[in-house]
Amino acid sequence: MAAMTTSPAESVSAPPVHRRTSPGAWMKMNLFSNWYNSLLTVVFGALILWAIYALVKYLIGVDTEIIRVNLRLYMTGRFPSEQLGRLWGAIYVATATVAFFARATVRNAQMKATEAGLDFERSHWTDVVRRFWPIGALILFTLSFTETITPTLLTLVAAAIGLAAYWLGGMMPTWLIHRSWIIVVAGVVGFYAVLVAFGGVGWDLWQGFFVNIVMTVAGISLAFPLGLMLALGRRSTLPAVRVLSVTYIEFLRGVPMITLLLMGAFALGFLIPGDFQFSLFLRLLIAITLFQSAYIAEVVRGGLQSVPKGQVEAAQSVGLSPWKTMRLVVLPQALRNVIPAMVGQFISLFKDTTLVYIVGLLDLLRAVTISMAQPEFFAQGLEAVVLPFAALYFWVGSYVMSRESRRLEKKLGVGVR
């Protein structure tokens, strides 16, 4: 009797056995567990080997002349060469802003944690490298196609400026840390001023991959607040606001973005009196913003629906105003719950910036197709070189964004209570 009761208890308390599986056993378990798995392994193995062989053969034989010649066209389009200094200046401003803002965010979190009596663990610099290495690798990859050493040196300067700004951010006064939006506004104004002020280059000449990045950043920062407002409008108690929001959201979600771009390119001019016309860049930015805000509104709505009613009631019972209830209680939880969907929407906005190709703005994709039609590169099958090259830039951007969203989701413990 005693023996019978102790034996299961023993097996429970015994530490789990970690057995190192031998390669043979691993293969048996994961590749050849039964006859159809073996068949699948053989067929897929052959296919994958063939694909690797084809890829290696292609990579050895590939002629990157077209990329080396056209790299500047890809990155900046027809940005006037005597003004390129401004572009580097703008990149420096952007780098410094990001570094400064990152430091402010870290210090803000640190102060909040100390206030609440929590441990604060600063992420190690190796973590940052691990998170963003695809972007660094892509920059190195791009620099490997440059013909002179200058761009590499200028990139190193950018890295130095970023580090310096991060270090300087350590001396930031407390009031600035609490109002970090000032840094962003100053950065945006500085960025624009460096590019445009005193006979600079207006945004009609912002081209190449640069325009994809600017459109993505500007599109996200404009479409997000608009989407938020639309989502709140959809829940409004005023029927007129609600009906307008719903109509707007459902209409824009029902049509392709191209129709909006066509409208921006051809029909917007009809709605606004002749002497007051937007540039193509601005019209396309408006089209992208309007389009994406409808999708973001739906994402936010999902988040708002996921916040339990009790949260609102609790906020009301401690006497918070409706605005404060929304800002301090509902929205933080709502947005946290929809991080993956939201970032997914940002990724799709990033990918959608290529659609400006169709109405003739010279973005990365357009630059690539222009280079394919150049007389010295025409009809040599170089599409298979330059299109994957362009795809790499979008892939890295989207991949890093989606990985960050997964990290953030895990860190904030979404779905874990």
Binding site for another protein (CB under 8 A): 30-31, 33, 37, 40-41, 44-45, 47-48, 240, 244, 251, 253-259, 262-263, 266-267, 269-274, 347, 351-352, 354-355, 357-358, 365, 369, 372, 381, 383-384, 387-388, 390-391, 394-395, 398-399, 402
Closer to another protein by Cβ: residue 257 or 329: 257
Closer to another protein by Cβ: residue 71 or 368: 368
Please, what is the minimum distance in Å from the beta carbon of residue 311 to another protein?
25
Please, what is the minimum distance in Å from the beta carbon of residue 178 to another protein?
37
Please, what is the minimum distance in Å from the beta carbon of residue 362 to another protein?
15
- Cα distance between the two ends of the chain: 42
Instruction: Give the tokens for residue 19.
Output: 């057995």
Instruction: Give the tokens for residue 77.
Output: 């389009």
Closer to another protein by Cβ: residue 312 or 387: 387
CA distance 67 to 221: 32
CA distance 309 to 299: 19
Closer to another protein by Cβ: residue 167 or 399: 399
Please, what is the minimum distance in Å from the beta carbon of residue 109 to another protein?
29
- Are the beta carbons of 318 and 325 closer than 8 angstroms? no
Closer to another protein by Cβ: residue 200 or 269: 269
Please, what is the minimum distance in Å from the beta carbon of residue 190 to another protein?
30
Instruction: List all residues 6 or more positions away from 286 whose beta carbon is below 8 Å from its beta carbon.
Output: 264, 268, 278
Closer to another protein by Cβ: residue 45 or 136: 45
C-alpha dist (Å) from residue 168 to 96, 97, 172, 362: 10, 12, 7, 37
Instruction: Give the tokens for residue 17.
Output: 């056995």
What b/e readout covers 106-121, taking b as 16+ CB neighbours within 10 angstroms?
bbeeeeeeeeeeeeee
Closer to another protein by Cβ: residue 6 or 37: 37
**383-411 helix and 208-234 helix, angle to the nearest 10 degrees:** 40
Please, what is the minimum distance in Å from the beta carbon of residue 43 to another protein?
9
How many Cβ atoms are within 10 Å of 90's Cβ, its own excluded? 22
List own/partner pairs for 127-131 with CB under 8 A and 24 or more apart.
131/400, 131/403, 131/404, 131/407
Please, what is the minimum distance in Å from the beta carbon of residue 194 to another protein?
29
Closer to another protein by Cβ: residue 238 or 318: 238
Closer to another protein by Cβ: residue 51 or 129: 51
Please, what is the minimum distance in Å from the beta carbon of residue 200 to another protein?
30
Please, what is the minimum distance in Å from the beta carbon of residue 351 to another protein?
4
CA distance 73 to 77: 4
- 366: closest CA among 203, 145, 208, 204? 208
- Are the beta carbons of 268 and 278 closer than 8 angstroms? yes
